[in-house]
């Protein structure tokens, strides 16, 4: 486990204090403050201020359960204050070191029914968070039918969001109005968490949850101008309360803590992107030896299936054959790519009903390939598509992971293609409590076999990678594959300029960048809406410690000079920053390779061409660097001339500014290496 460097923990008051009306807590630099509020009827709420202005007006807290209405009737029986400042080291990430500085307030409550409940608030300089804690108390089982947490933002706001029933979160994020007075625009249109919010005064918020554990994922809707919580329900019999008082969302047994509810609140977009509140709210790493968890770039027998030149199942165009995998492994070795994924290597693809994860097709020689991979020093990434049959998968986890580990496979891409999954509790939403339990079981079991997970069709990430760094990346996005077969023609250029500010703020994304061939054999008219340089820019703008270069070796060799950037770009960083951007328009990221002096810059734009200027002030003073810039040619355009690019080399220092033009649907990438 990485060492946690604790600078200071200052406990101001551990013991319960007498109730007081002044129940508030400010952030370490005093910018934000949060007040816990209780009305005469014992109903509870909170409000948030920044520099004296109210950002979140009094908003409700509490629960409805099948047993009790934990909505009012509370009395305050004590409070604790604790200030915290520490720096911890990530196993992998967008930064090596993360600072956690916050002030905490825990209010201790007793409900009229006798139930004890605490609420722990944490106030950071860039946001607030809180969770409900039910301390151990005799025989307390609750069936939560509604969580009442609300967020009454005081300003006019627009939120980037997805509808909660968007299958696998694979949709186009849209901007919707959150109106302070008007409740017609999106009332009852339940949305997925997270929301990225733009306020009328040009400031921002990111509303999400952290450390989702044994509880349903939150969804959000707007009622009377307030953002309200709607937990994902149980389905079937488990979804019915005995007393008929609503739909069951969660079964909890004390002691129990809910996931954190968090709102990042910043004045600028770079600050929003830089916030690490979500990771700080998750528990420290529970895996003792993390030396086997390695960030990797990988290729795969994959895109061929999506563009239908190969098949998952056996036949004349079967992709995952021994010969093809050998070709990929040798190509990866030659080009410094760490790993190769293979889909369709195992029995079951004919009907998607009975997958085996320990029996290969007979044109796949697992022993030979694992020995070859080992001798080449290239990893094999396994693939376990369950077709949504989580229950069978869970039952066999040990056998499956033992088999993979025995063949030297230490990363597995899991898949759950089914609108509802079959868990040990029957057909359930994957983001309901039962689904959340399943995914956790997978991560924990995989860790025992030293296997990292790339989870497709997941629950929206909530920062669990801090605790389980073997959960390396997840899908939960309308990824590149849609550009191969989507009837709507592929994702619009804007899509990739929304994701860094929305989905990717929730965690690493397996988007699969790197298409180098834009002729689509599957559906005429459907294609990747980007220039080749935009594809390179994605490797820096989209963070994933397992980063796939998704195209075929022959397509890469057709542009070997541009492929050089993919060979060189790391996927693990010392530090990262958003240099410039606007949600849905463009973004430019700069990242320093972990443990190196070298920087990588990536930019992507929507359908509008843009001139950009990137000051190189992140470079070390007094040092000279060699910059290689991969940029759109002057006449490049995603639709008409996607392959038109130029590669320039020059010496730069931290006094220089990089001027680059991005074409429509274009982008750029740069390596900046210290001489």
Residues in binding contact with ligand NOJ, number by CB under 6 A: 8
Classify 359 as helix, strand or coil.
coil
Q: Least distance (Å) from ligand NOJ to the CB of residue 566?
A: 19
**Binding of ligand NOJ at residue 438 (CB under 6 A)?**
no
**Binding of ligand NOJ at residue 551 (CB under 6 A)?**
no
Quick one: residue 336, left, alpha or beta (phi over 0 = left, psi -120 to 50 = alpha)?
left
Query: Quick one: 319 or 584, whose CB is closer to ligand NOJ?
Result: 319
Q: Least distance (Å) from ligand NOJ to the CB of residue 94?
A: 23
Q: Least distance (Å) from ligand NOJ to the CB of residue 341?
A: 9
Residues 338-377 contacting ligand NOJ, CB under 6 A: 343
Taking residues 478 to 507 in sequence order and writing x for each that binds ligand NOJ by CB under 6 A, - otherwise, the string is: ---x--------------------------
* Torsion sign, CA atoms 20, 22, 28, 34: positive
Q: Least distance (Å) from ligand NOJ to the CB of residue 475?
A: 5
Number of neighbours of residue 439 by Cβ within 10 angstroms: 25
Query: Quick one: 475 or 606, whose CB is closer to ligand NOJ?
Result: 475
End-to-end CA gap in the chain: 34
* Residues whose CB falls within 8 Å of the CB of residue 547, separated by 6 or more in sequence, listed in order: 295, 296, 297, 298, 513, 539, 571
C-alpha to C-alpha distance for 415 and 432, rounded to whole angstroms: 17
Query: Quick one: 310 or 658, whose CB is closer to ligand NOJ?
Result: 310
**Binding of ligand NOJ at residue 94 (CB under 6 A)?**
no
Residues 294-313 contacting ligand NOJ, CB under 6 A: 302
Helices (H), 480-588: 482-485, 495-498, 532-541, 553-557, 560-568
C-alpha to C-alpha distance for 468 and 458, rounded to whole angstroms: 15
Number of DSSP helices (H) and strands (E) in the chain, helices first:
13, 40
* Cis amide prior to 255 (ω within 30 degrees): yes
Among 417, 420, 523, 639, binds ligand NOJ (CB under 6 A): 417
Taking residues 252 to 291 in sequence order and writing x for each that binds ligand NOJ by CB under 6 A, - otherwise, the string is: ----------------------------------------
Q: Least distance (Å) from ligand NOJ to the CB of residue 161?
A: 21
With CB atoms as reference, the residue minimizing the distance to ligand NOJ is 385
Query: Quick one: 301 or 663, whose CB is closer to ligand NOJ?
Result: 301
C-alpha to C-alpha distance for 408 and 415, rounded to whole angstroms: 20
Q: Least distance (Å) from ligand NOJ to the CB of residue 533?
A: 24
Q: Least distance (Å) from ligand NOJ to the CB of residue 417?
A: 5
Q: Distance of CA 456 to CAs 189, 356, 604, Å?
A: 25, 18, 25
Q: Least distance (Å) from ligand NOJ to the CB of residue 343?
A: 5
C-alpha to C-alpha distance for 429 and 249, rounded to whole angstroms: 11
* Residues whose CB falls within 8 Å of the CB of residue 597, separated by 6 or more in sequence, listed in order: 620, 623, 673, 674
Query: Quick one: 415 or 432, whose CB is closer to ligand NOJ?
Result: 415
Question: Checking DSSP bridges between strand 546-548 and strand 296-301, what pairing results, if any?
Answer: parallel
Query: Quick one: 417 or 523, whose CB is closer to ligand NOJ?
Result: 417
C-alpha to C-alpha distance for 215 and 461, rounded to whole angstroms: 13
Q: Least distance (Å) from ligand NOJ to the CB of residue 545?
A: 17
Q: Least distance (Å) from ligand NOJ to the CB of residue 602?
A: 23
Question: Checking DSSP bridges between strand 411-415 and strand 379-385, what pairing results, if any?
Answer: parallel
Query: Quick one: 343 or 551, whose CB is closer to ligand NOJ?
Result: 343
Could you tell me which residues are beta bridge partners of residue 116? Answer: 110
Query: Quick one: 479 or 603, whose CB is closer to ligand NOJ?
Result: 479
Query: Quick one: 523 or 639, whose CB is closer to ligand NOJ?
Result: 523
Query: Quick one: 169 or 668, whose CB is closer to ligand NOJ?
Result: 169
C-alpha to C-alpha distance for 85 and 10, rounded to whole angstroms: 8
Query: Quick one: 343 or 598, whose CB is closer to ligand NOJ?
Result: 343
Query: Quick one: 349 or 468, whose CB is closer to ligand NOJ?
Result: 349
Both tokens of residue 92?
């992998």
Helix or strand run (H / E) with residue 397: helix 397-406
**Binding of ligand NOJ at residue 415 (CB under 6 A)?**
yes
Closest CA to 669 of 608, 624, 628: 628
Nearest 5°: CA angle at 336, between 334 and 340? 90
Classify 240 as helix, strand or coil.
strand
**Binding of ligand NOJ at residue 475 (CB under 6 A)?**
yes
Query: Quick one: 481 or 494, whose CB is closer to ligand NOJ?
Result: 481
Q: Least distance (Å) from ligand NOJ to the CB of residue 496?
A: 17
Instruction: Say which residue the tokens 């949850």 belong to.
Output: 209
**Burial classification of residue 521, based on how many CB atoms lie within 10 Å of its CB (0-12 exposed, 13-18 middle, 19 or more buried):** exposed
Q: Least distance (Å) from ligand NOJ to the CB of residue 499?
A: 15
Q: Least distance (Å) from ligand NOJ to the CB of residue 439?
A: 15
Among 100, 125, 147, 385, binds ligand NOJ (CB under 6 A): 385
Residues 170-189 contacting ligand NOJ, CB under 6 A: none
Taking residues 443 to 462 in sequence order and writing x for each that binds ligand NOJ by CB under 6 A, - otherwise, the string is: -------------x------
Instruction: Say which residue the tokens 């006798």 belong to.
Output: 114
- Provide the binding-site residues for ligand NOJ, judged by CB under 6 A: 302, 343, 385, 415, 417, 456, 475, 481
């Amino acid at each position: 486990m990485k060492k946690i460097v604790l600078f200071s923990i200052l406990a101001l008051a551990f013991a319960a204090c007498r109730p007081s009306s002044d129940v508030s807590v400010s952030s370490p630099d005093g910018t934000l403050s949060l007040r816990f509020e209780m009305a005469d009827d014992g109903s509870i709420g909170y409000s948030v201020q920044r520099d004296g202005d109210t950002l979140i007006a009094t908003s409700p807290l509490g629960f409805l359960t099948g047993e009790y209405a934990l909505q009012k009737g509370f009395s305050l029986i004590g409070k604790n204050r604790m200030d915290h400042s520490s720096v911890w080291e990530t196993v992998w990430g967008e930064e090596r070191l993360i600072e956690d500085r916050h002030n905490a307030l825990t209010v201790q409550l007793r409900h009229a029914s006798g139930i004890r409940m605490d609420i722990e608030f944490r106030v950071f300089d860039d946001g607030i968070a809180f969770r409900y804690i039910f301390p151990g108390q005799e025989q307390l089982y609750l069936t939560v039918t509604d969580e009442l947490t609300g967020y009454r933002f005081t300003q006019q706001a627009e939120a980037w969001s997805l509808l909660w029933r968007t299958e696998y979160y694979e949709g186009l994020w849209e901007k919707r109005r959150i109106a302070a007075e008007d409740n017609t625009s999106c009332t009852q249109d339940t949305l997925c968490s997270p929301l990225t919010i733009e306020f009328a005064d040009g400031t921002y918020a990111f509303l999400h949850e952290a450390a989702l554990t044994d509880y349903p994922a939150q969804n959000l809707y707007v009622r009377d101008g307030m953002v309200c919580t709607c937990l994902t329900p149980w389905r079937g019999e488990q979804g019915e309360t005995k007393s008929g008082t609503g739909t069951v969302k969660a079964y909890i047994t004390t002691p129990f803590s809910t996931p954190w509810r968090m709102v990042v609140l910043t004045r600028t977009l770079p600050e929003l992107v830089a916030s690490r509140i979500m990771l700080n709210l998750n528990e420290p790493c529970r895996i003792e030896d993390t030396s086997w968890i390695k960030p990797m770039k990988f290729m795969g027998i994959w895109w061929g299936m999506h563009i239908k030149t190969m098949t998952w199942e056996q036949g004349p165009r079967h992709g995952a054959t021994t010969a093809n995998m050998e070709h990929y492994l040798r190509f990866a070795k030659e080009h410094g790519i760490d790993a190769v994924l293979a889909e369709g290597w195992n029995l079951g693809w004919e009907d998607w009903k009975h997958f085996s994860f320990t029996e290969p097709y007979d044109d796949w020689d697992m022993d030979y390939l694992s020995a070859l991979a080992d001798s080449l020093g290239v990893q094999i990434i396994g693939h376990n598509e369950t077709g949504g049959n989580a229950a069978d998968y869970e039952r066999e986890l040990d056998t499956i992971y033992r088999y993979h580990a025995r063949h030297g496979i230490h990363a597995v891409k899991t898949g759950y293609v089914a609108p509802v999954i079959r868990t040990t509790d029957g057909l359930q939403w994957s983001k309901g409590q039962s689904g959340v339990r399943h995914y956790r079981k997978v991560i924990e079991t995989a860790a025992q076999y030293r296997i990292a997970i790339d989870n497709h069709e997941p629950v929206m990430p909530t920062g669990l990678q801090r605790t389980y760094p073997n959960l390396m990346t997840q899908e939960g996005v309308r990824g590149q594959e849609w550009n191969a077969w989507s009837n709507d023609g592929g994702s619009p250029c804007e899509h990739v300029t929304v994701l860094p500010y929305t989905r990717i703020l929730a965690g690493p994304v397996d988007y699969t960048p790197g298409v180098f061939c834009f002729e689509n054999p599957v559906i005429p008219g459907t294609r990747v809406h980007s220039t080749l340089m935009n594809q390179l820019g994605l490797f820096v703008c989209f963070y994933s410690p397992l980063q796939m270069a998704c195209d075929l070796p022959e397509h890469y060799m057709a542009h070997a000079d541009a492929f050089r950037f993919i060979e060189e770009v790391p996927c693990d960083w010392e530090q990262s920053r958003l240099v410039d951007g606007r949600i849905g328009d463009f973004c430019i990221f700069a990242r320093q390779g972990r443990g190196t002096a070298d920087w990588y810059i990536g930019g992507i734009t929507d359908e509008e061409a843009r001139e950009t200027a990137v000051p190189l002030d992140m470079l070390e003073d007094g040092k000279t660097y060699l910059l290689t810039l991969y940029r759109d040619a002057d006449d490049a355009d995603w639709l008409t001339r996607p392959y038109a690019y130029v590669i320039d080399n020059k010496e730069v220092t931290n006094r220089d500014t990089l001027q680059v033009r991005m074409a429509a649907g274009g982008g750029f990438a740069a390596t900046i290496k210290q001489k």
